[in-house]
Amino acid sequence: MASDTPIYIELAVAVSPLEPFRDLFIAQLGAVGFESFSETEEGFAAYILKEDYSASAAMEQMQWDGVTVSVKEQEIEQVNWNAEWERNFNPIEVDGRVYIRAPFHAERAGFEYAMLIEPKMSFGTGHHQTTHMMIQWLLETPSNHADVLDMGCGTGILGILAGMRGAKSVHGIDVDTWCIENTLENAQRNGVAMTADLGGSEVLSGTYDLILANINLNVLLADIAHYEKALRKGGSIFFSGFYEDNVPTLRAAAEALGLTFEGVKAREQWRSIKMVK
């Protein structure tokens, strides 16, 4: 009788030099189906369902001149996700205003926005540089009475923060079932009313005052016309999930649709831009 327990592939990846390539490779693997990551002294561990795994596709995401990568692969039946996250998820502080913690972390006073997140197998718990920049954009942008779309919502951090800042409505979209469940659970934990749909740009309906798109360059370029159509006149889009060299390409694609460039944020090799309609 076949087991109902899902089989996962675990990749133990050693990277040299470690920074900034650990974050870069994690981001790129996340874009090709890897569901969870944990940092190690030498690099990181990455997890993906066996049925979704392609060794060649994974290795393509970890090619970089001057960087040495070694990978050990094994099949595992069960992953203790809670233990993985507890070991690797540290509290997050952004500009002294936002504090994001998991249930196993102590509460801290003195922050304007204190968020409780229980990450599961979704990517984007706020450690990543791109999420940090998106939070900074949100802190600079009045969102009270705004209808907000969190595209590629992951754990729901960005949408939840928008809700905490007074958004009229917050809707998330993600291609990962785990992310949808996790987003809705985390929103409830933080007292934020949030809805979410499973899928990509094909499930996008309605219009929004603010669109948050922290994904990756290929998806952003493929879907940018859908985002522009869903953005109301006078609204803003924050794009993140790409590198410095990608800014001109994404900016040109947005400007070709009539959007106006309003600024860029930088954090190590990562970039985030703001476009308005």
Do 93 and 39 share a domain, yes or no? no
Do 141 and 261 share a domain, yes or no? yes
Q: What is the pLDDT of residue 128?
A: 72
CB-count burial class (<10 Å; 0-12, 13-18, 19+) for 120: middle
Number of domains in the chain: 2
Q: Which residues of the chain have pLDDT under 50?
A: 1-3, 122, 124-126
Do 179 and 262 share a domain, yes or no? yes
Structure-block tokens of residue 107: 């509460």
Angle between helices 217-230 and 247-256 (to 10 degrees): 20
Boundary of a domain, candidates 79, 107, 133: 79
Do 20 and 138 share a domain, yes or no? no
CA 272/CA 264 separation, integer angstroms: 6
Q: What is the pLDDT of residue 38?
A: 77
- 135 is in which domain, residue-wise? 85-276
Q: What is the pLDDT of residue 269?
A: 81
Q: Where are the beta strands (DSSP E) in the chain?
A: 8-16, 36-39, 43-49, 68-76, 92-94, 98-101, 113-116, 147-151, 169-174, 195-198, 208-214, 231-243, 260-267, 270-276
Do 130 and 149 share a domain, yes or no? yes
Q: What is the pLDDT of residue 24?
A: 84
134, 94, 92: which is closest to 117 by C-alpha? 92
Beta bridge partners of 100: 92, 115
Do 217 and 143 share a domain, yes or no? yes
Domain of 41, CATH number, reads: 3.30.70
Boundary of a domain, candidates 34, 55, 79: 79
Do 74 and 138 share a domain, yes or no? no
Is residue 3 in some structural domain? no
Is residue 230 in some structural domain? yes
Q: What is the pLDDT of residue 84?
A: 63
84, 104, 79: which is closest to 40 by C-alpha? 84
Do 70 and 136 share a domain, yes or no? no
Is residue 1 in some structural domain? no
